[in-house]
Amino acid sequence: MPDAVRIRLRRTALAAVAAAALVAAPLAAAPALAAASITVTNAQGQATADPDYATEMTISGSGFQSIPKGFGGVYVLFGWVENPSSGSWRPSNGGQTGSDYRYVPDSESKDNQGFQRFVSFPGSDTEAAAQAIMSADGSFTVDMVIPGATFTSLDRNGEPSEVDCREETCGIITIGAHGVKNANNETFTPIRFAAPGSGEAAGGAAAPAPVAAAPGEVRVGTRPQTAEAGSALAFTGKGFTPGEQVVAVLDDGVAAVGPLTAGAGGEVAGVLSLPSDLRAGTHLLTLEGAASGAVASADVTTTAAEGLVTATPAATEEQWPYLVLALAILVAAALVVTSVVTAIVRAVKRRRRRTATDVSAAAAAASTAVLPDPPVIGSRDADPTVPFEVLTTGGDRS
């Protein structure tokens, strides 16, 4: 059985056990639970987020059901819910993500981008992955990032959909973590959107007293929230000196655009072309004013271009020993071939020298040898005193 399936089954089983424990909990002699509630504040102590830029906010919870050593805990999300007052969006009432509520996607790792937070029950075996631990009295505090008034959510099938919080009511959602459905810990707390210095919140609701930006403060925002390598990244900047030139740079110069001229209000806008081989992950976009020297930066999250496969550092580190071994084998093979060819050439040369020497010796011996004169038989001129018959027959016939 694959590990992913095994983990999913384990979570389902634990969630079922936890749900059963929650159902049985009211039967036990336990104190009555106070209604769970959430308080949201920005750096100025107000429950207002910037519609164009990411806003860091502090989320404080109280009155939640704390289950010592219980499985899971509470997810803290930013998003939108259908009919907040009716409660039909709640998972305990059958609500499902993508249809009854939507939220900003983020990883489940402890060092994620801050769009989602996990608050673990005290003593739970999931504490190591949590950004905060719930107290025994059901209180907790976490820092969170609100990305702006618009975001892209994913449904249960991974299909994206756009949410505009200037048209919909968005806020902080809390639900049971790891599939545990607990109505006691399901809440929705609206957040208002208003740019610093404005007197009106998104949707026409009255906003808290405006908080003016500090003198010389510059900011930068990007769209989309997550960009694909090889695509275009739109960005805006505020707070620069009117008319000054502004340059936008990604990381240490992997991409850049400019100079851009700041408008009458110190604003700039541009589009940055992302390299197709840009690694997936978090990058830093920096805007710098030439005259004022003001610098604003923002994190940019990118994904790999579709169909592009890039080697990771780990893969490269694992492959280099094999490359060295292959090179050594090629060198050794080349040396062996060279030795064999050299030996063959030398053997041929030695054989040729021996053959030439033998031929020369034979020729020399042949030139110096003295052959005996062949005997002359039947010649009349051999000895005139010997009868011809004797010469021819070797005997005397008289």
Report if residue 5 sits inside a domain: no
Report the pLDDT value the prediction gives residue 208, as an integer from 0 to 100. 38
Report if residue 135 sits inside a domain: yes
Report if residue 287 sits inside a domain: yes
Report if residue 241 sits inside a domain: yes
Q: At 232, which CATH number?
A: 2.60.40.1930
In angstroms, the CA 171 to CA 187 distance is 10
Domain count, the chain: 2
Report the pLDDT value the prediction gives residue 369, as an integer from 0 to 100. 53
Residues 156 and 110 placed together within one structural domain of the fold: yes
The CA angle 229-231-232, to the nearest 5 degrees, is 125
Residues of the chain scoring pLDDT < 70: 1-34, 197-216, 225, 306-322, 324, 341, 354-398
- Which structure tokens are listed for 301? 């999250």
Residues 223 and 200 placed together within one structural domain of the fold: no
Report the pLDDT value the prediction gives residue 44, as an integer from 0 to 100. 84
Residues 227 and 197 placed together within one structural domain of the fold: no
Residues 89 and 226 placed together within one structural domain of the fold: no
3-class secondary structure for the chain?
CCHHHHHHHHHHHHHHHHHHHHHHHHHCCCCCCCCCEEEEECCCCCCEECCCCCEEEEEEEECCCCCCCCCCEEEEEEEEECCCCCCCCCHHHCCCECCCEEECCCCCCCCCCCCEEEEECCCCCCHHHCCEECCCCCCEEEEEEECCCEEEEECCCCCEEEEECCCCCEEEEEEEHHHCCCHHHCEEEECEECCCCCCECHHHCECCCCCCCCCCCCEEEEECCEEECCCEEEEEEECCCCCCEEEEEECCCCEEEEEEECCCCCCEEEEEECCCCCCCEEEEEEEEECCCCCEEEEEEEEECCCCCCCCCHHHHHHHHHHHHHHHHHHHHHHHHHHHHHHHHHHHHHHHHHHHHHHHHHHHHHHHHCCCCCCCCCCCCCCCCCCCHHHHHHCCCCC
Q: Which residue has the tokens 């919080």?
A: 165
Under a CB-based contact definition with an 8 Å cutoff, are residues 71 and 182 in contact? no
Q: At 38, which CATH number?
A: 2.60.40.230
Residues 142 and 240 placed together within one structural domain of the fold: no
- Which structure tokens are listed for 387? 């009868």
Report if residue 78 sits inside a domain: yes
Residues 62 and 154 placed together within one structural domain of the fold: yes
Residues 32 and 127 placed together within one structural domain of the fold: yes
Q: What radius of gyration do the chain's Cα atoms show? A: 46
Q: Which residue has the tokens 């550092």?
A: 313
Report if residue 85 sits inside a domain: yes
Report if residue 161 sits inside a domain: yes
Domain holding 234, by residue range, is 219-303
Residues 97 and 31 placed together within one structural domain of the fold: yes
Report the pLDDT value the prediction gives residue 94, as an integer from 0 to 100. 92
Report the pLDDT value the prediction gives residue 315, as an integer from 0 to 100. 43
Average pLDDT of the chain, as a whole number: 76
Residues 166 and 254 placed together within one structural domain of the fold: no
Of 100, 214, 79, whose CA–CA distance to 152 is shortest? 79
At 297-329, the pLDDT tens digits run 888 888 887 655 444 444 444 566 667 677 778
Residues 97 and 185 placed together within one structural domain of the fold: yes
Residues 110 and 64 placed together within one structural domain of the fold: yes
Which residue, 273, 303, 333, sits at the end of a domain? 303
Report if residue 140 sits inside a domain: yes
Which residue, 275, 303, 331, sits at the end of a domain? 303
Q: Which residue has the tokens 């949410």?
A: 163
Residues 161 and 196 placed together within one structural domain of the fold: yes
Report the pLDDT value the prediction gives residue 203, as an integer from 0 to 100. 45
In angstroms, the CA 188 to CA 169 distance is 10
Which residue, 265, 283, 303, sits at the end of a domain? 303
